[in-house]
Structure 1
Amino acid sequence: MTLSKIVIWLARALAILGGIVLVAVTVMTVASITGRVFIRLGLGPVPGDFELVQAGVGFAIFAFLPWCQLNRGHASVDIVTSFFPARANRIIDVIAEVLMTVVLGLIAWQLYYGMRDKLAYSETSFILQYPVWWIYAACLLAAIGAVIVSVYMTFVRIGELRDGAPAETPGQGAVH
């Protein structure tokens, strides 16, 4: 299996996992709201629903980052750069990829320290009392996936700059 296939698989797997978590959070939210509506019939809200939404959405955001990075899905401003020559745009792309890699690395680093802190102090959620470090660990794993994809894409952009032509990367369907 080539490196590009591994990176694509990693990004896709994390995005699918993030989507599954987001669907589960949505279903749980609907069940909780429905339970509140029918409280007179003996139903009720899902205990700790807001805690589960926070945890699930937080993880989903980090899980979607690798796929977004792979597909150049981040916001870009092309008003000025559309007038630049192709080489200048490739240089800007390399700089943007390097900066994104640095930012994602810093985020992963801080998630690691946050997770260690939550683990050391045995912090738990207010209602469900689950260890908060679990969520930090899940987000950290997804953030590490984003760093891996971002490093790979930095080398792809450097190759584009060197070769003078866009690389064949998966899912380059994002329109900016």
Structure 2
Amino acid sequence: MKNFMMGLARFMALLGGFVLTLLIVLTCISILGRLLNGFFHGPLMETMAPGFARWMIDLGVGPVNGDFELVESGVAFAIFAFIPLCQITAGHASVDILTNRFSAAVNRFLRMITEIVFAAVLILIAWKLYDGMLSKMRYNETSFLLQFPIWWAYAASLFGAVVAAVVGTYVAAVRIYEFGTGRIVIWDGVETGS
């Protein structure tokens, strides 16, 4: 089960990284287009090469239409895609100035409680995303510029959130087992498949 969950978490992180990379490229292209559009509309190009400037503008050189809508939707998915790997490797930020002074048993208990709460929150988020997606579908809401159905973004985020909830629930179960037995199954910050 551990290998499957680690593989699922890695797959989601790779998918999230791919989407994030596409969004970065899209943003760079849009910024470059915005700069070029301003340059072609500028006084230098209007006096030196007005025909070329008009031709480039007519070609569509400019910002990507609806880029912020795509980035908004894609980043929401990417965030949920990275949570499973962070969860299973205990990669979340922690402040352990106080807990370093506690015994191993107390730390296992605190870790168990934290993971149970985290799993419950992930389940709640997935549930509310599902409700939100149904609402967006019911009212046929679309984005302002691109007019794509908003529920698509909710569905992508819901997919990531469900995987995060599944991995979070698994990690919570592991932490319960670890607390009960004193045996460590998932080491902090370790991304091994064994």
TM-score scaled by length of structure 2: 0.85
How far did 1:171 drift? 5.1
Aligned length: 171
Cα distance 1:171–1:78, how it changes in 2: closer, same or farther (>3 A)? closer
Backbone CA RMSD of aligned residues: 1.4
- Identity, in percent, stands at 49
How far did 1:164 drift? 1.4
Correspondence 1:65-104 to 2 at 5 A: 65-104=83-122
3-state SS of the aligned residue for 1:46?
Answer: coil
Cα distance 1:159–1:71, how it changes in 2: closer, same or farther (>3 A)? same
Equivalent position to 2:13, from 1, 15, 18: 15
Aligned equivalent of 1:166: 184
Cα distance in structure 1, aligned partners of 2:110 and 2:19: 35
Deviates more, 1:152-161 or 1:51-60: 152-161
Cα distance in structure 1, aligned partners of 2:138 and 2:186: 45
Equivalent position to 1:62, from 69, 80, 90: 80
Q: Where does structure 1 differ by over 3 angstroms across 4 or more consecutive aligned residues?
A: 168-171
Q: Which has the larger radius of gyration?
A: 2
Deviations 1:61-112 (A, max 9, x none): 0111111101111121201100000000000000000000010011001000
Contact 2:105 2:182 in 1 (8 A): yes
Q: Any gaps of 5 or more consecutive residues in structure 1? A: none
Equivalent position amino acid for 1:151 in 2: T
Q: Any gaps of 5 or more consecutive residues in structure 2? A: 41-55
Equivalent position to 1:137, from 151, 155, 158: 155
Aligned equivalent of 1:157: 175
How far did 1:170 drift? 8.5
Correspondence 1:104-123 to 2 at 5 A: 104-123=122-141
3-state SS of the aligned residue for 1:15?
Answer: helix
How far did 1:26 drift? 0.2
TM-score scaled by length of structure 1: 0.93
Cα distance in structure 2, aligned partners of 1:93 and 1:170: 11
